[in-house]
Amino acid sequence: MASNSFRQLTGNAKGRLIYEPLFLIPYSMFVTYSSIFMYELGVTETGIGWITTIGLLVQVLSSFLSGYLTDRMGRKRALLYFDVLSGASLHCCGQSRKISGFS
């Protein structure tokens, strides 16, 4: 029954169901282990809390700018640019060996 429902989907809904796990699974792993990684680098629990809070605030505030840029650039091109930028920043955080790499 589920496969029949999936076949009936078209466009963005089908694409989202196919590609969303490719983002969510690695992101969940990154978020889970980033605090452990920071703690091993010597960041205090308070520092980890601040880094996480600042990151979430930046996400909330940047959504307004992202919406504007998406309207100007188009959905597909904006997704491409923002995903490449996001991947590059995550790579830089993963390669950091001191606290300044996270902030």
pLDDT digits (tens, 9 = 90+) for 41-92: 888 999 999 988 998 899 899 889 888 988 999 988 988 888 888 888 878 8
Could you tell me the two tokens for 97?
A: 């060996």
What is the pTM (predicted TM-score) of this model?
A: 0.56
Three-class SS state of 74: coil
pLDDT at residue 32 in the model: 82
Cβ distance 43 to 102 under 8 Å?
yes
Alpha helix segments (H runs only) across the chain:
2-8, 11-40, 45-73, 75-95
Rounded (5°) CA angle 39-40-42: 65
Average pLDDT over residues 13-26: 81
pLDDT at residue 101 in the model: 55
Could you tell me the two tokens for 6?
A: 């999936």
